A and B are shown apart, each in its own frame.
Chain A
Amino acid sequence: NAGVTQTPKFQVLKTGQSMTLQCAQDMNHNSMYWYRQDPGMGLRLIYYSASEGTTDKGEVPNGYNVSRLNKREFSLRLESAAPSQTSVYFCASSQIGDEQFFGPGTRLTVL
């Protein structure tokens, strides 16, 4: 079992460019999450999907969109990247109310 996988591992964008971060899990979890991690600020929830077919905003959703493609996959899209979106992005999955398992992260730099 690969657990939670994310692609790409690193990405550099110019301001205004768009991109999609991909996440997949093979643990048959119902819930999936996207976080961003900035120095000194912990992990902040961007969006989450409690179950297939549903998505909800987290603490910092502005500038992002998500798609729960199926039970395994949850993507995060930046439509017009800004330098403030430079961060490390983590995807996670869980059964509802249970331990969250994190992916390896995507380090994104927006110039």
Chain B
Amino acid sequence: GENVEQHPSTLSVQEGDSAVIKCTYSDSASNYFPWYKQELGKRPQLIIDIRSNVGEKKDQRIAVTLNKTAKHFSLHITETQPEDSAVYFCAAGFTGKLIFGQGTTLQVKP
């Protein structure tokens, strides 16, 4: 069935360093790739998304890249700050139905 693999499961960086989270997906029909951030006890919230007709998208310190041929996409966070500490989820979908990755717990150490 459809599957999204996300790595790493945990990531610890020093404040100011960059963080990269990678995802691969199995359904070649997927055309929408969002990334969600979830703080402890809170609901997931969208931080950035990309569609299959775009290879890269940037929003301030956050960027996402997509390689449709290889069926993988990545989240890049530059100049990390302690408030970036959270669980990050990637997802892949088509016509609204999303399959989520298992999540990455990012810890940014001051």
Contacts and interface: CB of A to CB of B under 8 A. Distances in A.
Interface of A: 31, 33, 35, 40-45, 48, 50, 56, 58-59, 90, 94, 96-100, 102-105
Interface of B: 1, 6, 9, 31-32, 34, 42-46, 49, 89, 91, 93-103
Contacts of B103: 40, 42
A104 B43 contact: yes
B32 A97 contact: yes
Contacts, number: 58
Contact of A97 (B9, B44, B46, B96): B96
A13 B92 CA distance: 33
A6 to B, nearest CB: 9
Given A43-B44, A43-B89, A90-B43, A99 B49 contact: yes
A94 B100 contact: no
A90 B97 CA distance: 15
B9 to A, nearest CB: 8
B95 A43 contact: no
A69 B44 CA distance: 25
B98 A45 contact: yes
A42 B96 contact: no
Contacts of A102: 43-45
B97 A42 contact: no
A42 B95 contact: no
A31 B93 CA distance: 14
A106 to B, nearest CB: 11
Given A90-B44, A102-B45, A31 B100 contact: no
Contacts of A104: 42-43
Nearest to B32: A97
A47 B25 CA distance: 20
A96 B34 CA distance: 14
B24 to A, nearest CB: 14
Contact of B96 (A40, A41, A50, A90): A50
